[in-house]
């Protein structure tokens, strides 16, 4: 899994590749894999990380001595987190200048040390690294009896670690006396049983890197022409080109989502909630605090999801979706809608890797649904998991709108966004101030990334030079409370989520299918005529999504309510047509009536 903010992560590899045997490794030489949705996901050894499983009886002094020897070996840097410590794992990241073969051989030598129980594989899957530990998530069939489940686990000599209290017939298991690699084979055997829906590793998922945010280009200057009547008073609104682009700065006029025209029609309402499923949101931010409802931290199961000081991604996404509008700082597209922060991951130092598990992500999605979020905004992706797939199904089955970032690798749409062809979710690509599809050569100057594309893209939205909220003070991306250069499909996704929330405020009974259809059919067609793999059905237009016919020039502009694009509005369209035909009939009849009328 990865954050989809361009410039903050290396590119994803979107094809699953075969793994090679690791020199000195003790695990099976057969191709490693796990099962997702009945398909084998091949596992390739990571070129970035290796992991050593410490013996549980290792003393503190022996552990410290071993860690010193690891540092002295000079082959890798130790990266740690509470989750890794919990599993007794020493994680090594390859040092710059060390070749893959030397790294593998050095780790193999360290694995022979007395405090080390085994070397645990770290696999590369769709752009993320997945550390294998001896824990597995098993979902039995809904009608499996306790006796049947016990028989399956006993036959595999499995031990129950925990029972999921929220999901029936869900267990976390381990295989005593087995290495993690040996345990993977046993888990795959369980997955083949006819009373088992799935069995998959409880991977520790590591986002490979989160380097600095690149800074390029400039935000558009303040508008020099009148704006729609819905323009808010936030002082930074004039720099939020993606909400209202006059063309007076960078870009072209109307390369935006027509936010003021949308607000002329509706501000949404406070009963609608957007869940920002991310690395945490700063709930005390002055431009977010009044919007926050029922936060949740899936990484430890409590309600204190405040991000680490350097983890600004979730706070930035929250501001785009629904910052407090018409007050200070920036405006959020969801003017009156609320924000539910859900933390599913964290990093342990600035620029460090994201640490998470698919179980955390699943819990975050399900909890957002159970706590009443109407729209789930997900600016991340990479890897693959039954746990997350079933959580998405749970959200959609409970009438929630699920939005995912397509990714920033100038390649195919990543998982889970690529599920949009089989699940009713919304996959979002990115555009720029010129209404161009975001590529490495588009006019915005951000040459280090391009939006992903493909038939799974549903809609596109602005995703460069996005002015938004940042963790306050010197924390987050920059000094101050706001950041002017957030980017990537990470930033386009909460914009679509904000528009979906406005639509639901107008049509609270609508299903995810109706909301998705409304956003797609009302989008401004860009690129090739009709649907295309870059823009999807077009660039988001929030005004038209609310049923408006938005005239963008010359300002001031308003959002008329005459044009309605959803199929449920056909009755009103027929009424409008009848009124028009009646007027024409009266105009034609008037000269006849004048000829036959008696003179005075």
Contact 43, 52 (CB under 8 A): no
Q: Tell me which architecture the domain covering 136-202 has in CATH.
A: 2-Layer Sandwich (3.30)
Cα three-residue angle 118-124-129, rounded to 5 degrees:
75
- Concatenated DSSP letters of 398-463: TT-EEEEE--SBSSBPPTTGGGGGTSS-EEEEEE-TTS-B--TTSTT--TT-B--BSTT--EEEE-
Strand 49-54 relative to strand 338-343, pairing:
unpaired
As a whole number of angstroms, the distance between CA 456 and CA 414 comes to 9
CB burial string 88-106: b at 16+ within 10 A, e below: bbbbbbbeeeeeeeebbeb
User: Which residues in the chain show pLDDT less than 70?
Assistant: 1-29, 208-230, 551-600
Q: What is the pLDDT of residue 250?
A: 79
- Which structure tokens are listed for 133? 């530990």
pLDDT of residue 388: 98
Task: Evaluate whether 136-202 and 259-560 have a shared fold.
Answer: no
**Radius of gyration for the chain, computed over Cα atoms and rounded to the nearest angstrom:** 27
CA distance 253 to 251: 7
Share of the chain above pLDDT 90, in %: 79
Compute the distance between CA of residue 494 and CA of residue 405 in angstroms, rounded to an integer. 9
SS3 368: helix
Phi, psi values for residue 421, rounded to 5°: -85, -15
Per the document, the length of the chain is 600
| Those residues with Cβ within 8 angstroms of residue 185's Cβ, 6 or more apart along the chain or in another chain | 28
CATH architecture of 34-125: 2-Layer Sandwich (3.30)
Model confidence pLDDT, tens digit, residues 43-71: 999 999 999 999 999 999 999 999 999 99
| CATH architecture, range 259-560 | 3-Layer(aba) Sandwich (3.40)
- Residue 394 parent element (H or E): helix 386-397
How many Cα atoms are found within 13 Å in the side-chain-facing hemisphere of 493?
40
How many helices (H) and strands (E) are present in the chain, helices listed first?
13, 29
Nearest residue to 397 (alpha-carbon basis) of 361, 370, 364: 370
Show me where the domains of the chain are located.
34-125, 136-202, 259-560
Instruction: Give the CA distances from residue 536 to residues 4, 119, 407, 460, 492, in Å, rounded to whole numbers and listed in that order.
Output: 18, 45, 14, 6, 13
Residue 61, strand partner residues: none
**Residues known to be catalytic:** 278, 313, 490
**Closest by Cα among 275, 284, 225, 281 to 249:** 225
Q: Distances from the Cα of 178 to the Cαs of 21, 137, 184, 372, 454, in angstroms?
A: 19, 16, 10, 42, 42
The predicted pLDDT at position 48 comes to: 93
* DSSP-assigned letter for residue 289: G
Which residues touch 261 (CB under 8 Å, ≥6 apart)? 228, 230, 542, 543, 548, 550, 552, 557, 558, 559
- Nearest CA-CA partner of 8 in 388, 563, 476: 476
Note whether 361 and 388 are within 8 A (CB). yes
pTM of the predicted protein model: 0.87
pLDDT for 22 equals: 35
């Amino acid at each position: 899994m990865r954050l989809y903010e361009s410039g903050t992560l290396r590119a994803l590899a979107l094809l699953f590749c075969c793994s090679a045997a690791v020199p000195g490794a003790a695990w099976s030489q057969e191709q490693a894999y796990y099962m997702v949705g009945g398909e084998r996901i091949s596992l390739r050894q990571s070129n970035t990380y290796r992991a050593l499983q410490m013996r549980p009886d290792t003393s503190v002094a022996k552990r410290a001595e071993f860690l010193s020897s690891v540092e002295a070996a000079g082959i890798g840097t130790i990266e740690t987190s509470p989750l890794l410590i919990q599993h007794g794992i020493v994680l090594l990241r390859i040092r710059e200048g060390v070749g893959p073969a030397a790294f593998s051989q050095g780790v193999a030598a360290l694995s022979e040390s007395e405090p080390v129980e085994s070397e645990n594989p770290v696999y590369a899957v769709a752009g993320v690294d997945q550390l294998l530990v001896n824990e597995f998530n098993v979902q039995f069939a809904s009608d499996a009896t306790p006796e049947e489940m016990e028989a399956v686990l006993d036959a595999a000599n499995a031990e129950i670690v925990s029972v999921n209290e929220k999901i029936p017939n869900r267990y976390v298991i381990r295989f005593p006396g087995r290495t993690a690699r040996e345990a993977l084979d046993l888990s795959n055997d369980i997955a083949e049983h006819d009373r088992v829906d799935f069995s998959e590793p409880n991977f520790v998922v590591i986002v490979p890197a989160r380097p600095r945010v690149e800074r390029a280009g400039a935000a558009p200057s303040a508008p020099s022409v009148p704006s729609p009547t819905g323009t808010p008073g936030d002082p930074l609104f004039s720099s939020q080109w993606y909400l209202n682009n006059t063309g007076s700065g960078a870009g072209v006029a109307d390369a935006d989502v027509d936010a003021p025209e949308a607000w002329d029609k509706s501000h949404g309402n406070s009963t609608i909630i957007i869940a920002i499923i991310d690395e945490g949101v700063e709930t005390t931010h002055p431009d977010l605090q009044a919007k926050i409802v029922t936060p949740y931290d899936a990484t430890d199961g409590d309600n204190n999801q405040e991000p680490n000081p350097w983890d600004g991604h979730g706070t930035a996404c929250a501001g785009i979706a629904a910052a407090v509008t018409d007050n200070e700082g920036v405006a959020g597209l969801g003017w009156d809608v609320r924000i539910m922060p859900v933390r599913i991951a964290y990093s342990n130092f600035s620029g460090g890797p994201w640490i998470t598990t698919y179980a955390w992500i699943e819990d975050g999605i399900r909890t957002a649904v159970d706590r009443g979020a109407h729209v789930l905004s997900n600016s991340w992706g990479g890897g693959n998991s039954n746990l997350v797939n079933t959580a998405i199904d749970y959200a959609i089955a409970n009438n929630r709108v699920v939005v995912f970032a397509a990714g920033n690798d100038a390649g195919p749409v990543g998982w889970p966004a690529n599920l949009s062809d089989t699940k009713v979710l919304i996959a979002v690509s990115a555009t720029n101030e010129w209404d161009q599809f975001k590529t490495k050569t588009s006019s915005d100057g951000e040459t280090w990334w391009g939006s992903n594309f493909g038939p799974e893209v549903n809609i596109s939205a602005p995703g460069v030079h996005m002015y938004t909220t940042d963790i306050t003070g010197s924390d987050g991306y920059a000094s101050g409370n706001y950041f002017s250069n957030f980017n990537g499909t990470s930033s386009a996704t909460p914009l679509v989520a904000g528009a979906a929330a406005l639509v639901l405020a107008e049509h609270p009974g609508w299903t995810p299918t109706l909301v998705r259809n409304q956003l797609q059919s009302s989008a401004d067609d860009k690129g090739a005529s009709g649907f295309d793999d870059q823009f999807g059905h077009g660039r988001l237009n929030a005004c038209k999504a609310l049923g408006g016919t938005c005239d963008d020039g010359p300002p001031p502009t308003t959002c008329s309510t005459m044009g309605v694009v959803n199929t449920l509005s056909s009755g009103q369209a027929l009424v409008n047509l009848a009124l028009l035909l009646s007027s024409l009939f009266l105009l034609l009849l008037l000269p006849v009536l004048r000829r036959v009328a008696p003179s005075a």
